Chains A and B, each alone.
Chain A
Amino acid sequence: MNWNFQLGIHPDADQLSVFVEGAATSLERERMLAHLAECEECRKAVFFMQPHEETQPATRTPVKGWIWGRLLPVGLPAAALACGLIALLVHIWPRDSALRTPQQVASLRTPEVLPKTKVAPSADSEMDQRSGAQKRSFAPASNLSNQENLSLRKSLNLPESSGQAAAKVAAPETTTANLSANAPVGHAGGSAGGVMGGISSQLPLNGRDVVNLQQLSTPANTQGAAAQNSLAKERSLPQLEIAKDSGQAEAFARVSGRITDRSGAGISGARVSLRDAGGKTRQAITGADGSFHVTELPAGRYQLIATASGFKTVQQSIQLNPSQLAMLQPVLDIGTASEQVTVEAGAEAVNTEDSALSQNVDARAIGGNGNGLPQSGYARVFGVNGDGRSVAYGKQFLALDSTGNLVLSHNGGKKWKKVRPQWTGKAVSIELTPAYSSEAPPNPKNESLGKASEAAVFLLTTDAGTVWASKDGAHWHQQ
C-alpha cells in the first residue's frame, strides 16, 4: 500500500474517493482520518467531494388503498363541514339548554301582571300543572290572539321579543311595580305586589321547589267558569307586554308566611296546601327557613293545611279577598295528630281606586280575642289600618301584642323585630296618621305624596294617654 501520509504527502484522488465512499479498510480509514485531522486542504477536498444535497421535489405520497384515494377529495370538505357543525352545536347548545332549566323559565315569568280575562284555572292540582311547566298558558289580555299559540322559545328568538324577555329577567319586579303604580284598576298594592312578585321570581333561583310557588291566575269575574283547554295555550312575551300595558291586571290575594315549630325555628320542606271551596288545591313547600309563598289566589275561602313530617298537621280556614296579602305563621307541634283550627275571616272590601295597602285577614277575627297580635299561635295577620292593633304602610308593618310590645317588619311581614320601647307606659294602640291611613305608600314619582311622606306616619298611644309618633316605626318621639 502506498499510504504515504508523511509531511507533504497527500492521499491521491483514488484514496480519497475510497475513503469517502466507505470502501476503505479500517486501517486506511484510520490513516486517512489522521491525515485529514492535520491537513486542512485535504479536509477541504473531502468536504468538496460531498455532492450537494438537492432538495427533494415535493413528491406526492401515494395514498394507500384506492378507497381512501377516491374519498380524499370528498373527505376533506366533509371533515371541515363536520367541524363546522360541531362548532355550531357547541355555540348553540348552552343557550338551548339554559332555556330548558326550570330556573330560567320560572324567572322569565312575571306573575304579578296578569291578563284580565280568560285565564283559566285548572281543575287539577298545581303539582299536576307544573308537570308541563312550559306549557302553562295564559290567555291574552284582550281579544288578541286568544286562539294564538306562540311559544316562549319562539318569541325569544324574535329580536324585539328577546329584548323584552331580557328586561324581564333582569328586573321583573321593577317592571311590575312601575306598571302597577299607574294601573287604574287597583290590585294588591303596588309595592306589596311588586315585592311579592320579586320574591316569587327569585325563589327558584334559590334552589327551592319552584313548582309549588307557581300560581294559577283566575280572575274573580271568571272564577268557576274557566275554560280548561285554555291552559294548553302558550303565552308569548309580546302578549304579556300587551297585558301589562293595558293596565287591566287583575288583583289576586296572596298568602305568605312561615311555618315554625314551638321554638320558632322554621320547618323546611313542610307542605302547605290551600284548598278552595271547589276543591282546587294549591300547594307550596316551605323553604329552608320555613317560609312559603302562594300568590295569585282568587278571592274566596280557603282551607290551609300545613303538614310536615314529624309534626302535627294544622288546618286553618282563611278568607281571602282580592288584593289581600295574608301573612300566616302556623306553628306546628311535634306529634302526629292533626289539629284543626277554623279561622273566620271577614271579607274586607278593598278600595281598588287607590291601590290600598294590603288588607288581609282581619286580625280581630283571629283567635277572637281582638288583641292577640302577634300571637304565638297560628297566625299573625294584619288587618285594616285603624284597628288599633296593627298598621301597615307600604312594606312596613307594625303590630302590638297583648302585652304591649311593638313589633316591626320592614319587608312586608317576612321578618319581624321587636321595637325597643322609647315611650313610657304601655302601648295600647297604634295607628297611622289619619291623612295616610288607607292610602298607598308614597310614590317617589308623585311629588305631592312625596312631600306628605315627610310627616309622621305612625302614631302610638300609651296607656298614659301620650301619643308618640314615628316615621319609620323604629324611632319614636313624643308629640
Chain B
Amino acid sequence: MDIPPANIDQTEPTGAEACAASGGSGIAVEVVLGAESRLLPEMLGEELWRAASAELVELSQAEFADALETIGARDNFGLDPGKQANERQREMFWRALHLEDLAIARGCALGRESAWRRFLAQYREPLTRAAMEMTGSAALGEELASALYSELFGLTEREGKRWSPLLRYSGRGSLMGWLRAILAQRRVNQFRKIGRETALGEIEPAARVPEQLELKQLEDLRMAIKMALSSASAEERFLLSAYYLDQHTLHEISRVLRVHEATVSRKLKRATEHLRKELLRTLRGRGLSRRAAEEALGTDPRDVDINLRKLLQKTEGDPISNQERQE
C-alpha cells in the first residue's frame, strides 16, 4: 500500500473548527516548533519513542517528538488555560499518553504502510462492529465504517493537500475511544441529513396559537427557566437534558458520567428540585403570586420537563443552524 504522506506542514494554526459531527471537515492543527524551542528532553523523547514502539510503524524519533510537542502545546499539558507547565508536569503529561496508539495514528496519518497494517489488524474489526452497533444494521455499519476508513486514509483533501483526521488524535484517550467518537459524530451527521429530508406529513402540526395571557405566562416561564438553568451547574443541566429531553435512562447516563446509577438518580432528583425552586422564586420575583407561579409551573415537578421540552431548546442558539449559516 503506497500512500503518499499527508501534508501536516501547516504553519498557520487556524484554531479549532467544527468537527465532523457538525458537518464540516476537521482541520489539522499542528504547531511545528523549531528545534531551539523543544520542550521534550532528548532522553525522554527517546524513551517514549521506544515505549510507543514507534519504530514498528516507521515513525522516526524526531517525528514522534514533534507529535508529542504539538499535542502538549495544544492541550497546555492538561493544565487550565493560562497556566505554565513545568518540566515535571510536561513529563507526566507525556507519560500518561497512549503512546502506542499515538504512534499508530501518527504513522497512519503520515501514510506509513506498516502503521496501516497494524491499524487494520488491530482496529478494523472493532471499528466495524462499533459501527454496526451504532447503526443497528450490518449494512449501514459496514457503510459507515468504510466511509470512515477512506476519510482516515487521507483521501479527503483540504486546500489541495491530503488530510487525515488521525492527525487530531492526541493520545490522551485510547485510539479505539477516539474512533468510536468519530463514528458517533458521523452517525449523528447521518441523522441530521435524514432529518432534513423528513417528509412533510411527518412534521408535527403547528402548535395551537396561545392566548395572549398564555403568551405572557409562557414568556415569564421561559425567562424563569433560562435563569434557573443558568444557575444550575453544567452537570445538572446535562442531566436534565439527557434525561428529560433525550429520554435517556439513568443507566445510560451513568455510563457516560462514569458514576453509579443511583448517584445519577440522586443528582437528577436534586437538580429537578433545584430547578423547580429556582423557577418558583424567579416567577414570584416577576410579580406572580405563589399560587399563580405554581400554576404556571405545574405543581408536579415532573411537569417541568414538558415546559423544558417546549422552551429549553429555544433558550440557546441552534449550533447546527449557525454552522450552516456560516457555511
Chain A residues packing against B (C-beta within 8 Å): 1-4, 7-14, 16-18, 20-23, 25, 27, 30-31, 33-34, 36-52
Chain A to chain B contacts (Cβ below 8 Å), 15 pairs: A2-B16, A7-B316, A7-B319, A8-B18, A8-B320, A12-B26, A14-B178, A17-B181, A21-B174, A27-B80, A37-B238, A38-B316, A42-B188, A49-B177, A49-B183
B172 and A23: CB pair below 8 A? Answer: yes
When distances are taken between beta carbons in the complex, the residues of chain A under 8 Å from B80 are 1, 25, 27
**B153-181 at interface with A (beta carbon < 8 Å):** 165, 168-170, 172-174, 177-178, 180-181
B132, closest chain A residue (CB): A52
- Could you list 11 further interchain pairs (A-B, Cβ under 8 angstroms) beyond the known A42-B21, A44-B191? A7-B316, A8-B320, A9-B17, A10-B319, A12-B16, A20-B177, A20-B181, A36-B238, A41-B21, A41-B191, A43-B241
Report yes or no: A18 in contact with B172, Cβ–Cβ below 8 A.
Answer: yes
Q: How far is the CA of A10 from the CA of B320 in the complex (A)?
A: 10
Please tell me if the beta carbons of A1 and B81 are within 8 angstroms of each other in the complex: yes
From A9, A21, A23, A33, contact of B237 by CB (8 A): A33
B246's partner among A16, A27, A43 (CB-CB below 8 A) is A43
Contact A12 B238 (CB under 8 A): no
Picked from A11, A20, A25, A52, the residue with its CB within 8 Å of the CB of B173 is A20
Could you tell me if A46 and B184 are in contact, using CB atoms closer than 8 angstroms?
Answer: yes
B266 contacts chain A at the CB level, 8 A cutoff: no
Q: Are A14 and B169 in contact (CB under 8 A)?
A: yes
- Given the complex of chains A and B, what is the CA–CA distance between A18 and B255 in angstroms? 14
> CA separation between A1 and B187, bound complex, in Å?
26
In the complex, what residue of chain A is closest to B135 when comparing beta carbons?
A48
Are A51 and B130 in touch, CB under 8 angstroms? yes
A45 near B238: Cβ-Cβ < 8 Å: no
Q: A23-B173, A44-B246, A45-B188 are in contact. Are A33 and B181 (CB under 8 A)?
A: no
Give the distance to chain A from B191, nearest Cβ to Cβ, in Å.
7
**B258 touches which of A16, A22, A31 (Cβ 8 Å):** A22
Distance (whole angstroms) from the CB of B24 to the closest CB of chain A: 10
Is B263 in contact with chain A by the CB < 8 A criterion? no
A38 neighbours in B (Cβ, 8 Å): 237, 241, 316
Report if B9 contacts A (CB, 8 A).
no
| B242 part of interface (Cβ distance < 8 Å) | yes
The answer to whether A48 and B134 touch across the interface, beta carbons within 8 angstroms, is: yes
Cross-chain contact A47 with B238 (CB below 8 angstroms) = no
With a 10 A CB-CB cut-off, give which of A11, A17, A42 has the most chain B CB atoms.
A17
Contacting pair B173 A21 (CB below 8 A): yes
Q: A48: nearest residue on chain B (CB-CB)?
A: B184
Contact of B181 among A16, A40, A41 (CB under 8 A): A16
Q: A37-B234, A41-B319, A51-B133 are in contact. Are A8 and B181 (CB under 8 A)?
A: no
Contact assessment for A14 and B319 in the assembled complex, using a CB-CB cutoff below 8 Å? no
CA distance in complex: A47, B187 (Å):
11
Tell me whether B201 is interfacial, beta carbon within 8 Å: no
Q: B320's contact among A2, A4, A17, A41, by CB below 8 Å, is which?
A: A41
Give the contact-size bracket for chain B: 35 or more
Q: How far does the alpha carbon of A191 sit from the alpha carbon of B231 in the complex, in Å?
A: 102
Task: Pick from B37-45, B61-69, B71-79, B288-296 the stretch touching chain A.
Answer: B71-79
Residue B74 contacts which of A2, A7, A16 (CB distance < 8 angstroms)? A2
* Pair A4/B180 contact, Cβ less than 8 Å: no
For B177, give the chain A residue with the smallest CB separation.
Answer: A17
**Shortest 8 CB-CB contacts between residues of A and residues of B:** A37-B237, A48-B184, A8-B322, A34-B234, A13-B181, A17-B177, A17-B173, A33-B234
- For residue B130, which residues in chain A have a CB less than 8 angstroms away from its CB? 51
**Chain A neighbourhood of B15, CB < 8 A:** 2, 4
B249-286 CB contacts (< 8 Å) to partner A: 252, 255-256, 258
Which residues of chain A are near B26, meaning CB under 8 Å?
Answer: 12
Residues of A within 8 A of B178 (CB): 13-14, 17
Q: Which of B18, B180, B316 contacts A51 (CB 8 A)?
A: B180
B323 at the A/B interface (Cβ < 8 Å)?
yes
> Are A31 and B169 in contact, with the CB atoms below 8 A?
no
Q: A13–B127 Cα gap in the complex (Å)? A: 15
Taken residue by residue from 184 to 216, chain B's Cβ proximity to chain A (1 for < 8 Å, 0 otherwise) reads as 110110011000000000000000000000000
- The answer to whether A47 and B246 touch (CB under 8 A), given A4-B16, A14-B169, A33-B238, is yes
Report the minimum CB–CB distance from B152 to chain A (whole Å).
Answer: 11
Cα–Cα distance between A30 and B233 once the two chains are bound (Å): 9
Most chain A CB within a 10 A radius of its CB, from B184, B255, B320: B184
Contacts of A16 in B (CB 8 A): 181, 184-185
Complex alpha-carbon distance, A450 and B15, angstroms: 127
B287 at the interface (CB under 8 A from A): no
- Cross-chain contact of B234 among A14, A31, A51 (Cβ < 8 A): A31
B59 in the interface (beta carbon within 8 A): no
Contacts of A4 in B (CB 8 A): 15-16
CA distance A21 to B174 in the complex (A): 8
| B34, CB-defined interface residue at 8 Å | no
B245 at the interface (CB under 8 A from A): yes
**B140 touches A (CB below 8 Å):** no
Asked if B133 and A17 sit within 8 Å, CB to CB, the answer is no
Contact B173 A8 (CB under 8 A): no
B170 cross-chain contacts in A, Cβ below 8 A = 14, 18
> What residues of chain B lie closer than 8 Å to A17, measured between beta carbons?
172-174, 177-178, 180-181
| Separation of A43 and B242 alpha carbons in the complex (Å) | 7
Most B C-beta atoms less than 10 A away, residue of A3, A30, A38, A52 = A38
Closest residue of chain B to A8, judged by CB? B322
Instruction: Indicate whether B20 reaches chain A with its CB closer than 8 angstroms.
Output: yes
- Inter-chain contact A7/B322, CB cutoff 8 Å: yes
Residue of A nearest to B173 (CB): A17
Give, as a whole number of angstroms, the nearest-CB distance from B243 to chain A.
11
Interface status of B22 (Cβ within 8 A of chain A):
yes
| Docked complex Cα distance between A45 and B191 (Å) | 11
Contacts of B180 in A (CB 8 A): 17, 20, 48-49, 51
Q: How distant is the Cα of A31 from the Cα of B320 in the complex, in angstroms?
A: 19
Q: How far is the CA of A21 from the CA of B176 in the complex (A)?
A: 10
Contacting residues, chain B, for A10 (C-beta < 8 A): 18-19, 21-22, 319
Instruction: Tell me the nearest residue of chain A to B26, going by C-beta.
Output: A12
Q: How far is the CB of B286 from chain A (nearest CB, A)?
A: 23
Are the C-beta atoms of B326 and A8 separated by less than 8 Å? yes
Q: Among the interface residues A7, A43, A45, which one has the most CB atoms of the partner chain B within 10 A?
A: A45
The complex places the Cα of A42 from the Cα of B323 at a distance, in Å, of: 14
Shortest beta-carbon distance from B78 to chain A in Å: 6
A21 to B179, CA, bound (A): 12
Question: B29 an interface residue at 8 Å Cβ cutoff?
Answer: yes
Q: CB distance A14 to B256 under 8 Å?
A: no
Q: Which residue of B lies closest to A53 (CB)?
A: B255
B313 at the interface (CB under 8 A from A): yes
Contact with A along B293-327 (1 / 0, CB 8 A): 00000000000000000000100110110110010
Interface centre among A8, A39, A41 (most CB of B within 10 A): A8
CA distance A8 to B173 in the complex (A): 24
Cα separation A40 to B240 with both chains bound (whole Å) = 12
